[in-house]
Each structure stands twice: as structure tokens, then as C-alpha cells.
Amino acid sequence: MASPFFMACTQKETSKPSSTIDTMALLIHDIANSSRLYTTDYQVHKLITRNDVKELSLNVFSKDLTTTLPGHRKVAVPIIVHFKAYIDFSEFSEKNIKRTDSSLTVFLPEPHIIVAHSHIDHERVQQYVSLTRDRFTTSEITDLAAAGEREAISEIQQTGIFQSAKESAARTLLPLLQRLGYKDNQVRIVFRKDHWAPNELQRMITHTTD
């Protein structure tokens, strides 16, 4: 089932767009020419914590025993993950358009997400370490930040980035459709899905080093 569509409603006009400017080829060219339309920038803030308990394993009278050594070692690492959303129009064609005498429906592919970059807020990193324990190393903190980024990616569908990307794409495309003579209330912009399985989501997310 198609996801809810975006439709601008103003005047109740249903007149057919002028045939002199109602050119399907022009519409497809204008949209496909956008190739990759970036629609949304998004930031996710996460606080990654770790409580490193040191244990000692012993073998006493043929029995394996584990005891916790005194001293604590804790850290809190705040990270910021930057995402970008875009719509890929590279394969946009007449198959994405359904037209009647008084309406135009444009079916768009699902948004794609780029993990633009992530960084540690070093000024807010906090360590709580006993005198008998060593502080967390830079490598350990970096590993925690990487785990936090993976967690942010796995939770991306719970944010508003997909909805924001859809709304932004609809606002961008509407002027193109209006130039062809369509009124606001004659246009529907439809996205086919609202939710994706984890394996589907993975193919929609990429990383960049830009």
C-alpha cells in the first residue's frame, strides 16, 4: 500500500492544464536532471557510557572462581552523528507518473541516508577512575564512539529524518509541476513506503568521507 501522499490544497479548480506546456518529456527531464536531490540535514546526539569492571579468575581446589577487584573505571562519551537525506532521481521515468485529464500523481523512490560524519565532543568527555585503575585510552574512547555511531544508525528510523526528507522533496518538486500548468490541488506526490525492515534499511544508508 502506498504511503500517505503530499497534496497542496488551495483553490477548488480542476481545469486541465494547457496542452501547450503539458509536456511529459519536459517534466521527466526536469526531475531526472536533479539526479540526487538533497533534502534534509539531521544531527543525532548520543551519550555512550561504559563501566569497566576488572575481574580476576582463579582456580582454587579445581574450582574456577571469579572475583571483582576493587576500584572503579567509568567513562561517558558524547558524540554527534550528522546525517543527510536525499532522493535519487537517476532512474526516474514515465513509470513514476500517472496522469489524468485533471490530475497528476508522481511516485517517488524512498529517501536515502548518508552518514556524513560523526565526532566526539571531547570537552564533555568525563572519566571517573580510581587511583588503582588506568584512565581510558584514546583508542578505547574512539571505539566507544564508533559503537555509538552504529547505534545511532540502527535507530535512524525512529527519528523524523525520513518524514522531513519526504516533505522537503514535495516542496521542491511542486514548483516544477506548477510550471507545467498544474494547480496545487491537482498534484499528488506519493512515496510508496513508510517503514522498512532492517535489511532494507541497510541498503538505504551509506557513509561518506566528504
User: One digit per residue, pLDDT tens: the chain, 210 residues?
Assistant: 445 444 443 344 444 544 434 467 777 877 777 778 888 899 999 999 999 877 656 565 666 656 666 778 999 999 999 999 998 888 888 888 888 878 888 898 888 999 999 999 999 999 999 988 889 999 999 999 999 999 999 888 888 888 888 888 888 888 877 777 778 888 888 887 767 776 777 778 888 754
Alpha-carbon distances, residue 47 vs 101, 177, 190 (angstroms): 54, 44, 36
Cα angle, residue 66 at apex, residues 60 and 70 outer, rounded to 5°: 120
24-32 helix and 161-179 helix, angle to the nearest 10 degrees: 140
Cα distance between residue 12 and residue 18, in whole Å: 17
Buried b (16+ CB within 10 A) or exposed e, 183-206: bebbbbbbbeeeeeeeeebeebee
- Cα–Cα nearest to 154, from 100, 89, 83: 83
Cell of 197: 525492515
Query: β-pairing, 104-108 with 187-191?
Result: parallel
What is the predicted pLDDT for the residue at 64? 67
